[in-house]
Chains A and B, each alone.
Chain A
Amino acid sequence: MLDHPATHVTGTVTDLQATGLAKSFGKARPVFEGLEFRIQRGECVALVGANGTGKSTLLRCCLGLIAPDCGQVSLLDQDIAAIKGPARRALRARTGLVGQKHNLVPRLSVLSNVIHGLLGRHSGPRYWVQGLAPAAARTAAFAALDKVGLADLALRRADQLSGGQSQRVGIARALVGNPRFLVADEPCASLDPQAGEEVMALFMSLVKREGVTVLFTSHNVQHALSYGDRILGLQGGRIAIDARAREVSAQDMARLYV
């Protein structure tokens, strides 16, 4: 099933447009090549595919964390390769990343970790630890923690949390800066099924309530079909599925993993 991306345009503004993206590591054959897709404002897109198909690499290319070999990424109306320094940081301040691991700083408090999500907009020692942070930053971070149900643990060390709690703190950190575009790389990969279900439900309810555009990867077919408005399926370095989630069957998804 391969439809043209334009057939799925629902919004009026394109938040992400990838054109002719290719990436390889060393002399190996490209992880992917010739990728073209668009993500409209407010869409929630599930990126699926077998291990090694380049999902995580593609997400990082979309945020400009790694450079593609060729092709172009336009993120929030800006060519990400063409901007550097403060302009690129300003663009990134409007984005967020939730990783496979929570990627919290283990020795710092939960509240400090969430305040770090504001570093794209505010720089300097006052935003390094919660004890020095301005009241507005502490209030915003605490509110974000409250949204993920962890306000009671604000001063607990991050390395004393369970996996599910840590991932929720990671979500709070990603959301505290009110991002326009959010990338989540298998946010439930390190969690047991129960915790994974809870975290995914919470994450999706928050981003949909805030109207954030989301690109997420998942090996959980049900998550992709339930939470994604649209499915992008990678296979053999190409996009094999680009369709609305309700139009994709479990069999279509299973074929991606053959």
Chain B
Amino acid sequence: MSDRSLPMRFARPGAGGFLGYLAVVLIILWSLEGAGWSADRLISSPPKLADFLDRAWPPSTHNLDRLAWKMVETLQIAIAGAAIGIVLSVPVALLAARGVLVGRGVSLAVRTILGFIRAVPDLAWALVFVVAVGLGPFAGMLAIVVDTIGYCGRFFADDMETTDPGPAEALTATGARRLDIAACATIPAALPAFVSTSLFGLEKAVRSSTILGLVGAGGIGIEMKVGFDLFDYPTAMTVILMIAVVVIGVEQIGAVLRAAIMGQAR
């Protein structure tokens, strides 16, 4: 055995690294203070939460048919908005992905626009479309479309940029056009990631659509707001449970669809 000593398990951070860790800790403490951190209020919250659960349980079944139709409307908003958004995301992503159809300049411009879309919350988009097209589910659907483009457009582009470049190079060597290469090599290679991202987009759309009603953009959210505003906690609890069931159901259906779609050749 040589006389060399074992290396340390962890490298000691340098001065710069230590200052970096310290800065992270200080930013978190500063953020907690700005967020109104209060240990007293946290400790006193369990009895209040227990009181809420006591008043909300059992969930109300009085207006179940009306709530069920509102849930159906919520799903319709989510599915229609996500479907249109996902389809529109593909051409947008082709323009956002570097080196697939366009160069760095166009890609940067499109990615900046997608960043702006994502930076604006879905509720804000819903407010904008309520102003533009009036109250109701159509405004909510448009908000979901824009929100889905911001999400799927960016991740579709990332998926395309990280595909194996080999098939694209082989087609480039035969003289294929960029659009043909994208359609035949890049998009098929990225398809599993597209499906996964689209299903996440649908789940996101379902979650978003449940609260769009808060600003008059349709869906079941308005029922939850009314339930809390009128202290009708059993109805609010019913809505919360319905949302949970639907979101979990969409996740499960998504998993089944993903497996089914992945197994087919074209």
Name A's B-contacting residues (CB within 8 A).
63, 65, 88-97, 99, 101, 103-109, 112, 116-121, 123-125, 127-129, 131, 155-157, 170, 173-174, 177, 179, 183
B173 at the binding interface (Cβ < 8 Å): yes
B170→A119 contact, CB < 8 A: no
In this complex, the member of B177, B192, B266 whose beta carbon has the largest number of chain A beta carbons within 10 angstroms is B266
A107→B189 contact, CB < 8 A: yes
B175→A108 contact, CB < 8 A: no
Query: Chain B contacts of A125 at CB under 8 A?
Result: 183
B169 at the binding interface (Cβ < 8 Å): yes
Which range contains the number of B residues in contact with the other chain? Answer: 20 to 34
B8 at the binding interface (Cβ < 8 Å): no
A89→B176 contact, CB < 8 A: yes
A117→B174 contact, CB < 8 A: yes
* Among candidates A92, A105, A123, A173, residue contacting B189 with C-beta atoms closer than 8 Å: A105
Closest-by-CB residue of A relative to B191 is A107
* Among candidates A96, A107, A128, A155, residue contacting B174 with C-beta atoms closer than 8 Å: A96
Query: Chain A contacts of B189 at CB under 8 A?
Result: 105-107
Closest-by-CB residue of B relative to A101 is B166
Q: What is the CB-to-nearest-CB distance from B177 to chain A, in angstroms, rounded to a whole number?
A: 5
A120→B175 contact, CB < 8 A: yes
Query: Chain B contacts of A116 at CB under 8 A?
Result: 171, 174, 176, 184-185
A109→B180 contact, CB < 8 A: no
* Among candidates B170, B174, B183, B188, residue contacting A93 with C-beta atoms closer than 8 Å: B174
- Complex: how many Å from CA A137 to CA B169? 21
Closest-by-CB residue of B relative to A103 is B166
B167→A104 contact, CB < 8 A: yes
- Complex: how many Å from CA A190 to CA B175? 25
Task: Label chain B's interface by main secondary structure.
Answer: helix
Q: How many A-B residue pairs have C-beta atoms within 8 angstroms? Tell me.
A: 100
- Complex: how many Å from CA A248 to CA B169? 33
- Complex: how many Å from CA A127 to CA B185? 12
Query: Chain A contacts of B266 at CB under 8 A?
Result: 107-109, 112, 129, 131
- Complex: how many Å from CA A156 to CA B264? 10
Q: What is the CB-to-nearest-CB distance from A95 to chain B, in angstroms, rounded to a whole number?
A: 6
A103→B167 contact, CB < 8 A: yes
Query: Chain A contacts of B191 at CB under 8 A?
Result: 107
- Complex: how many Å from CA A127 to CA B180? 8
Query: Chain B contacts of A156 at CB under 8 A?
Result: 265
B171→A99 contact, CB < 8 A: no
Q: Which of B143-179 contact A (CB under 8 A)?
A: 164, 166-167, 169-177, 179
Query: Chain A contacts of B265 at CB under 8 A?
Result: 107-109, 155-157
Query: Chain B contacts of A105 at CB under 8 A?
Result: 167, 184-185, 188-189
A99→B169 contact, CB < 8 A: yes
